[in-house]
């Protein structure tokens, strides 16, 4: 037995805005950042997690993680890890902190970070990567981890159990296949709005040559640009190659429908975040108006309850879970089972800092233990900042290769954390000396 001794946090930021990596119609100058946390027990055992942000405000998430961390300092780590369903509920439904949400925004992401760090401990103790740890749980153990509060009208524990019991069939073979062949990736690398046409086309050619079977373009800056860019990419990849588009919540409902009309002829594989992430009925209206174009969303969907409504309202064709937007592994297990119940494929959101490292585990688990198919399923991949992680993702031949190291993938290299801690890390100090820090617009 060992008590949790401390919660250590770091405000880690990378000056990505200098290159316009990650630029889209709404996020025009992100400095990809991680609110990074290590929970440390008296005997030295540690668990890692992070929350991704776009730069400014990262310190707010760090503070919120510290507040949630205080709820478990001094508690027995074994008790928390022994019942992760109860641990997650204790954090998410804290009688005072819940006022800041409930179950949305900074507080929800912060609770999720602590919860994810506990799952990291659990997986490390078994010597397994998180996906494998989850896939090896019994259906009863998975159901016990899920909070069915406010979703039981769409998915009951018994229904979840039934889906997971069906998933037991052939699970061992699918795990072996994942170890062998991994899981299909798609790439957003060519599509950032800040890139020139030349850079976009070069990266498109590289993506196809690298084996990706789906690429994604950002849209929503200017319609004229979107048509030109899509035309150029279609000419490059041909009429049948899947190309998705992503508006990052840029439009009102009527704008979305009007904007998408002239893009229909390019046959986008899906339209992602056509409008506000909270607008369930708006997504349903857009989906109806632009059929058969498929509608995707989820990277900023704040909870299983919004996902439930998107599914109930037949508003989405693709569910894009994010690893750190909701309250950790528990809530994403619920999201994956909701998707399975409604027959909607899960294509996780990734990119940023560490999101690829983290979210791959959910698709691997989904294939092994829930959906049992990879049809229509892809994990987003963006080739940024992986070198800062203890186990960087491996994507070859257009596929994520199965993570092997124990844990959830969030552990960063101590050197990277130190160098890019904002604002006093040597990386930021160097930018200051070169007069570049103001250019990132992250300086406070």
340 vs 355: CA distance, rounded Å: 22
Nearer to Mg ion by Cβ, of 246 and 366: the residue is 246
Angstrom distances, CA of residue 418 to CA of 9, 14, 59, 117: 12, 12, 16, 20
Burial of 343 (0-12, 13-18, 19+ CB in 10 A): exposed
Nearer to Mg ion, 128 or 184 (CB): 184
| Residue in 345, 340, 347 with CA at minimum distance from that of residue 322 | 347
Tell me if residue 264 is catalytic.
no
- Token match 């919860």: residue? 115
In degrees rounded to 5, what are phi and psi of residue 87?
Answer: -60, -45
From 76-84, 243-251, 259-267, 387-395, give the range in contact with Mg ion by CB under 5 A: 243-251
279 contacts Mg ion (rule: CB under 5 A): no
Residue 2 C-beta: closest distance to Mg ion, Å: 40
Region 1-30 residues binding Mg ion, contact defined as CB under 5 A: none
Sign (positive/negative) of CA torsion 78, 82, 88, 91? negative
3-state secondary structure of 273: coil
State yes or no: residue 147 binds Mg ion (CB under 5 A): no
> 361: which 2 tokens?
């585990």
| Nearest approach, Cβ of residue 299 and Mg ion (Å) | 5
Is residue 349 flagged as an active site residue? Answer: yes
Stretch of 52-60, 240-248, 335-343, 390-398 contacting Mg ion, by CB under 5 A: 240-248
State the residue for tokens 């373009």.
Answer: 217
Q: State the DSSP string of 49-111.
A: EEEEE-STTHHHHHHHHHHHHHTTTTSBHHHHHHTHHHHHHHHHT-TTGGGG-SSSHHHHHHH
Which of 104, 128, 283, 349 is catalytic? The answer is 349
Residue with tokens 């203890």: 390
Select from 5-13, 239-247, 339-347, 428-436 the region that touches Mg ion (CB under 5 A): 239-247
Q: Give whole-number Cα distances, 71 to 77, 102, 312, in Å.
A: 12, 17, 35
Nearer to Mg ion, 15 or 220 (CB): 220
**Residues 197-216 as x/- pattern, contact with Mg ion by CB under 5 A:** --------------------
**218, 283, 361, 384: the active-site residue:** 218
Q: Which is nearer to Mg ion, 128 or 349 (CB)?
A: 349
| Count of residues that bind Mg ion according to CB under 5 A | 1
| Rounded CA Rg of the chain | 21
Q: In whole angstroms, what is the distance from residue 352 CA to residue 277 CA?
A: 18
Cβ count within 10 A of residue 288: 12
Applying CB under 5 A, the span of 38-46, 66-74, 202-210, 246-254 interacting with Mg ion comes to 246-254
380 binds Mg ion (CB under 5 A): no
Q: Which stretch binds Mg ion (CB under 5 A): 241-249, 306-314, 325-333, 387-395?
A: 241-249
- 226 binding Mg ion? (CB under 5 A): no
Of the pair 11, 273, the CB lying nearest Mg ion is at 273
Contact 132, 175 (CB under 8 A): yes
Binding Mg ion (rule: CB under 5 A), the pick from 11, 147, 246, 411 is 246
Closer to Mg ion by CB, 341 or 384: give it. 384
When asked if residue 120 is in the footprint of Mg ion (CB under 5 A), the reply is: no
Q: Please report whether residue 322 would count as binding Mg ion according to CB under 5 A.
A: no
CB of 64 to Mg ion, least distance (A): 23
The residues annotated with a catalytic role in the active site are: 218, 349
Q: Site residues (CB under 5 A) for Mg ion?
A: 246
């Amino acid at each position: 037995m060992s008590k949790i001794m401390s919660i250590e946090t770091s405000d880690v930021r990378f000056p990505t805005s200098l290159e316009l990596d990650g630029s889209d119609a709404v996020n025009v100058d992100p400095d990809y950042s991680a609110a990074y946390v290590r929970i440390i027990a008296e005997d030295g055992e540690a668990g890692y997690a992070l929350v991704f942000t776009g730069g400014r405000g990262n310190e707010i998430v760090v503070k919120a993680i510290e507040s949630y961390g205080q709820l478990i300092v001094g508690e027995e780590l074994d008790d928390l890890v022994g019942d992760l369903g109860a641990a997650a509920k204790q954090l998410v439904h804290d009688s005072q902190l819940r006022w800041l949400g409930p179950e949305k925004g900074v507080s929800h992401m912060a609770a999720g970070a602590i919860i994810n760090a506990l799952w990291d401990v659990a997986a490390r103790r078994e010597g397994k990567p998180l996906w494998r740890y989850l896939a090896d749980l019994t259906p009863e153990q998975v159901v016990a981890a899920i909070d069915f509060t406010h979703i039981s009208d769409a998915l009951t524990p018994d229904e979840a159990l039934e889906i997971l019991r069906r998933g037991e069939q052939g699970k061992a073979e699918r795990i072996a296949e994942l170890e062998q062949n991994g899981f299909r990736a798609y790439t957003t690398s060519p599509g950032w709005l800040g890139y020139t046409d030349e850079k976009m086309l070069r990266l498109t050619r590289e993506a196809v040559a690298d084996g990706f079977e789906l690429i994604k373009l950002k849209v929503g800056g200017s319609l004229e640009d979107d048509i030109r860019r899509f035309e150029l990419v279609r000419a490059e990849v041909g009429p049948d190659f899947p190309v998705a588009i992503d508006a990052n919540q840029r439009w009102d409902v009527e704008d979305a429908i009007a904007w998408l009309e002239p893009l229909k002829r390019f046959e986008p594989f899906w339209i992602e975040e056509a409008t506000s992430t909270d607008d369930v009925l708006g997504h349903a209206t857009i989906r109806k108006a632009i059929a058969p174009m498929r509608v995707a969303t989820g990277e900023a969907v704040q909870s299983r309850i919004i996902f439930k409504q998107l599914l109930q309202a037949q508003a989405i064709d693709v569910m894009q879970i994010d690893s750190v937007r909701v309250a950790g592994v528990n809530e994403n297990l619920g999201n994956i089972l909701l998707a399975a119940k409604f027959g909607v494929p899960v294509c996780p959101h990734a990119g940023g800092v560490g999101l690829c490292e983290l979210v791959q585990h959910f698709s691997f688990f989904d294939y092994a233990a829930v959906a049992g198919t990879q049809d229509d399923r892809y994990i987003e991949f963006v080739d940024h900042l992986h070198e800062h992680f203890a186990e960087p993702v491996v994507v070859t031949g257009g596929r994520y290769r199965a993570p092997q190291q124990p844990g959830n993938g969030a552990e960063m290299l101590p050197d990277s954390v130190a160098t890019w801690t904002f604002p006093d890390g040597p990386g930021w100090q160097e930018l200051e000396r070169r007069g570049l820090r103001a250019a990132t617009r992250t300086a406070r």
